[in-house]
Structure 1
Amino acid sequence: MRANSGSLDKAVLIAGPTASGKSALALGLAQRTGGVVINTDSMQVYRDLRIITARPTENEEALVPHRLYGHVDASVNFSAGAWIADAAKALADARTQGRQPIFIGGSGLYFKALTRGLSAVPPIPAAVREGVRARLEQDGVEALHAELAQRDPVSAERLKPRDRTRIARALEVVEATGRPLPDWHRDGLPPLLPPGEFSALFLAPQRDELYARIDARFDAMLAAGALEEVEALAARKLDPLLPAMKAHGVPALMRHLKGEISRGEAAEIGRADTRHYAKRQFTWFRHQLPEFAWVAPEAATPWFVG
C-alpha cells in the first residue's frame, strides 16, 4: 500500500518508534501537500512537556498547521477516548479546509482507536477516581487487585497484580458505571478511519542506529532544558500516577531533583527506559496493527509518491 501525495481525500498515518524521524517526515509531507499534522502521541499532548517528549519546535509548528500538540494540562488524566474525540474534530476541520490529514506519533493505542474503534467507556467522575487513588495509597495495590478479582475477575486475571495504574483504572470503571471493562470493550465505538480511508506506514530503522539516536537525543534534551522543565512539573506536586508524570525520563529526573540519584544516573535511566519503550513499540505494531507497511526511514519519502 502506497500513499500518493496528490490523494488528499485519504488520511496518511505515520507511526514508528520514538526518535525514528516521524516528525520530520510528516512536516515535509505537509509542506508538499498543504496538509495538517495531527499529533497521535500520548505524551506530546501535554503542554508542560515540550522538551522531554520531543514535541515539534515552535518554528516547526509555524511552518504548517499542527493540531493536538500541547493542548492538555499535565494535571489531566488524558485517555485514548479523550484523544479520539479531539482527533474527530481535527479530522473534520482538515476535511472542511481541504487539507490532507497526517496523523503522526508513536502511541499504538491511539492508532488502533483511529482505525479499529475504541471501547465506549464514559468519563470517570473525579470523585470516583480520587477515591480509588486514595485507597490505592492507603491499602496498597495488592488489596485493590483482590477487590478487582471480586468485582471484575476477567480484568483481574489479565492484569499483573502490581500494575497500579491499570488496576486502579479497572476499579474506577466498575465503580463508576457498574459494568466491568470487558463489557465496555465489547460494546465499542466505530473507527474514525475505516479501511480504505487511509494509508499507513511504520518507520522501522535499524535497531542499533535507532538506539544511538535515542541516546543522543536524550542528551540533547537535557542540554535544551529538559531538567528545568521537569523541575517546573515537580513543583506542581501532581499525582504521580498521572500519565504526564510517567513520561520517559520524567521519573528519573525527579529522583535526581530529590537528591536520590546523580544527574548522570538519571540520564542513563531515561535513555534506557526510552530504548525499552522503542523495543515495545516494534513488538506492539507488528502484532496489533499488521496493516501498517514497514518502511526504512530513508525509503519513506519515495513511499508517498511512488
Structure 2
Amino acid sequence: MTGRRRAVLIAGPTASGKSALALAMAQAEGGVVINADAMQVYDTLCVVTARPTAEDRALADHRLYGTVPASTRFSTGQWLEAVRGVMASVPESVPLIFVGGTGLYFDALLNGFADIPEISPALTLQVQQEIQALDGAERLALLQREDPVAASRLRVADPQRLTRALAVKRATGRTLSSFQDRQQAGLLGEFVVERVVLDPDRDVLRQRIARRFEAMFAGGAVEEVKALRGLDLDPSLPVMKAIGVREIGDWLDGVAERDDAITLATIATHQYAKRQRTWFRNRFSDWPRRGIAGT
C-alpha cells in the first residue's frame, strides 16, 4: 500500500445487494459507508428508499443517510460538498466506502461536476413546447443565438440537450457552457480507488425486487408515505417521486387495491433498475463486474 487514502466505490441497480456488501467491507476493514443514492439522502422515507436499517447502521459508521429534509431539493453539487465534509471528519487511515445506485454521484466524485442551479420543471416544459414545432436546423439556429458554444458542441439537434441548454440560459442568464467550463474537480484524485458494479442476473434481480417491495409494504412503507403526505409538500420535489410514494398513495386513497399497488411499484422498480444497468454499462464499462453480493 502506498500510504494514500483508500476509497471503494460500489455501484449497481436497486436490490442488487450493494448495502450488504458495503456493510461487510466496513465491518471487515473498519471503513465508513457513505451514501451515494439520491433518494436515500432524504429523511422521512427510510423503508421506501431501502436505506440501511438501524441495526445495520449500528454495526458500522454510515454517513449521508436521511440527512436532508424531504421539503428540499438536494443537488449533485450539494452532495459533493457533503462528501467533502465527511472526508475532512474521517481519519486518513479509514477506508471510505461509497455505495449507491446514482451513477451521476459516482461520475461527479471521480470526474468532477458542473454545479448548475436547479431549473424549474415549468421552464423546461415551456422550452420543450417551444422547440417542438421546429426542425433540426431551426433548433440549432435558436441555440446558436442564445448559447453559441453549446450549439457548436452539438453534432445533431438532440432535443433533450438543446432543451437543457436553453433552459439554463433563460433561468440563470448564463450559458450552459460557462458552467461546464468551470466544472469542479473530482474528489478522489489522491486516493487509491477500487471500483465494482454489481450486475446480477436479470431474473434473480426481478425476484429480489418483487420480494423486497412486498416486505416494504408490510414493514413500515405505508406509515412513511402517510407521514410524507402529511407534510403537504410540493409534488415536484424529488422525494415525492420516490418509487412507492404514488403507488401506496393510490392505495391509501382507495384508487388501487393493495396487490395492484405492489405490482405497479414492482414494475416501476424493474424499469428503474433497467435504466440503472444501462447507465452503468455505458458509463462504467471498465469497472469490474460481479453478481449478487455474496454469490
Tell me how far 1:216 sits from its aligned partner. Answer: 0.3
- Rate the CA distance shift 1:76–1:119 in 2: closer, same or farther, 3 A: same
**Larger CA deviation: 37-46 vs 230-239:** 230-239
Residue 99 (structure 2) aligned to one of 71, 87, 104: 104
Counterpart residue number, 2:237:
242
Distance in structure 1 (CA, Å) of the matches to 2:114 and 2:253:
39
Tell me how far 1:284 sits from its aligned partner. Answer: 0.4
What percentage of aligned pairs have identical amino acids?
42
Counterpart residue number, 2:73:
77
Distance in structure 1 (CA, Å) of the matches to 2:20 and 2:125:
44
Residue 20 (structure 1) aligned to one of 9, 13, 16: 16
Instruction: Tell me the number of residue pairs that the alignment of Structure 1 and Structure 2 aligns.
Output: 278
Pairing 1:41-120 to 2, within 5 Å after superposition = 41-96=37-92, 98-120=93-115
Distance in structure 1 (CA, Å) of the matches to 2:273 and 2:183:
28
Tell me which amino acid in the other structure corresponds to 2:217.
Answer: L
Residue 192 (structure 1) aligned to one of 182, 187, 190: 187
Tell me how far 1:78 sits from its aligned partner. Answer: 0.8
**Larger CA deviation: 185-194 vs 213-222:** 185-194
SS for the counterpart of 1:66 is strand
Tell me which amino acid in the other structure corresponds to 2:193.
Answer: F
Residue by residue over 1:33-56, the C-alpha shift from the partner in whole angstroms, topping out at 9 and shown as x without a partner, is: 111000000010011110001101
Q: Does 1:206 align with 2:201?
A: yes
Tell me which amino acid in the other structure corresponds to 1:243.
Answer: P
Distance in structure 1 (CA, Å) of the matches to 2:169 and 2:83:
26
- Rate the CA distance shift 1:231–1:7 in 2: closer, same or farther, 3 A: farther
Distance in structure 2 (CA, Å) of the matches to 1:256 and 1:8:
52
Pairing 1:121-132 to 2, within 5 Å after superposition = 121=116, 123=117, 132=120
- Rate the CA distance shift 1:219–1:86 in 2: closer, same or farther, 3 A: same
Q: Report the TM-score when normalising by structure 1.
A: 0.81
Tell me which amino acid in the other structure corresponds to 1:114.
Answer: L
Tell me which amino acid in the other structure corresponds to 2:22.
Answer: A
Structure 2 contact 21–294 (Cα < 8 Å) conserved: no
- Rate the CA distance shift 1:82–1:253 in 2: closer, same or farther, 3 A: same
Counterpart residue number, 1:145:
128
SS for the counterpart of 1:53 is coil
**Larger CA deviation: 176-185 vs 208-217:** 176-185
Structure 1 contact 20–204 (Cα < 8 Å) conserved: yes
Counterpart residue number, 2:258:
263
Tell me which amino acid in the other structure corresponds to 1:53.
Answer: T
Q: Structure 2 regions of 5+ residues with no counterpart?
A: 132-138
SS for the counterpart of 2:98 is strand
SS for the counterpart of 1:248 is coil
Tell me how far 1:227 sits from its aligned partner. Answer: 1.4
Tell me which amino acid in the other structure corresponds to 1:75.
Answer: S
Q: Structure 1 regions of 5+ residues with no counterpart?
A: 301-306
Residue 39 (structure 1) aligned to one of 35, 41, 44: 35
**Larger CA deviation: 60-69 vs 249-258:** 249-258
Q: Does 1:218 align with 2:201?
A: no
Tell me how far 1:159 sits from its aligned partner. Answer: 4.5
Tell me how far 1:269 sits from its aligned partner. Answer: 1.1
Counterpart residue number, 1:303:
none
Counterpart residue number, 1:290:
285
- Rate the CA distance shift 1:267–1:20 in 2: closer, same or farther, 3 A: same
- Rate the CA distance shift 1:249–1:141 in 2: closer, same or farther, 3 A: same
Q: Report the TM-score when normalising by structure 2.
A: 0.84
Tell me which amino acid in the other structure corresponds to 1:64.
Answer: A
RMSD: 2.9
Structure 1 contact 116–191 (Cα < 8 Å) conserved: yes
Distance in structure 2 (CA, Å) of the matches to 1:170 and 1:227:
40
